[in-house]
């Protein structure tokens, strides 16, 4: 995470990154809230064994992190960029209720979702910024140029969302 804050080229966002990293360092880090997480929990990374048992695959993003970070990532479709999911939405509440059937989930962990979302946005911004440092080439196939353009749009959304952090409390 600290590396992500350092590689951000935009000075304002680098400062925001430092604040995010410092805020994350203040979160509890006991074995009850931190451990090995998938890192990319989404439906494309679930296979069903024996018809009804979900198994997560595609473990290249697995890491040591807060369990709530995986919740935040899994629910990112129910959130604005660099923000936690809307806990009042029925789908989000259902997901959290189901999660609590498998593992305790304290309200303090839910309260950290917005901060965890900002941390994820910072990492994604830094990774994509590095990818986009390679300029589009005329000899790239159409799909590669379209992907670069799409990623550039995502970086713009993340830049605006992270910059807004400077105008609001973390």
> What average pLDDT does the chain have?
89
Residue 166, pLDDT above cutoff 70: no
Percentage of the chain exceeding pLDDT 70: 91
149 contacts: CB under 8 Å, gap ≥ 6: 136
**Does residue 11 have a pLDDT over 60?**
yes
Tokens of 60: 């290249």
Give per-residue pLDDT as tens, 95-138. 999 999 999 999 999 999 999 999 999 999 988 988 998 899 99
> Residue 168: is its pLDDT beyond 70?
no
Architecture of domain 2-167: Alpha-Beta Complex (3.90)
Q: How far is CA 82 from the centre of its chain?
A: 8
Sequence ranges of the domains in the chain? 2-167
pLDDT reading at 88 higher than 90:
yes
Nearest to 135 by CA among 125, 144, 143: 144
**pLDDT, tens digit, 9 for 90 and up, residues 34-50:** 999 999 998 899 999 98
Q: How confident is the model at residue 8 (pLDDT cuts 50, 70, 90)?
A: low
């Amino acid at each position: 995470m600290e590396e992500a804050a350092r590689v951000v080229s935009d000075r304002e966002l680098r400062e925001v990154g430092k604040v995010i990293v410092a805020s994350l360092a203040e979160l509890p880090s006991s074995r009850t809230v931190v451990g090995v997480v998938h890192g990319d929990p989404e439906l494309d990374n679930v296979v069903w064994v024996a018809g009804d048992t979900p198994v997560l695959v595609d473990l290249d993003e697995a890491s040591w992190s807060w369990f709530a970070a995986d919740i935040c990532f899994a629910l990112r479709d129910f959130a604005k960029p660099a923000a936690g999911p809307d806990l009042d939405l029925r789908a989000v509440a259902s997901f959290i209720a189901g999660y609590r059937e498998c593992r305790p989930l304290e309200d303090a962990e839910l309260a950290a979702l917005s901060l965890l979302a900002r941390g994820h946005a910072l990492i994604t911004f830094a990774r994509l910024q590095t990818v986009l440092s390679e300029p589009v080439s005329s000899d790239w196939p159409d799909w590669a140029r379209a992907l670069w353009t799409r990623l550039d749009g995502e970086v713009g959304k993340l830049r605006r969302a992270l910059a807004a952090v400077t105008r609001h409390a973390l």
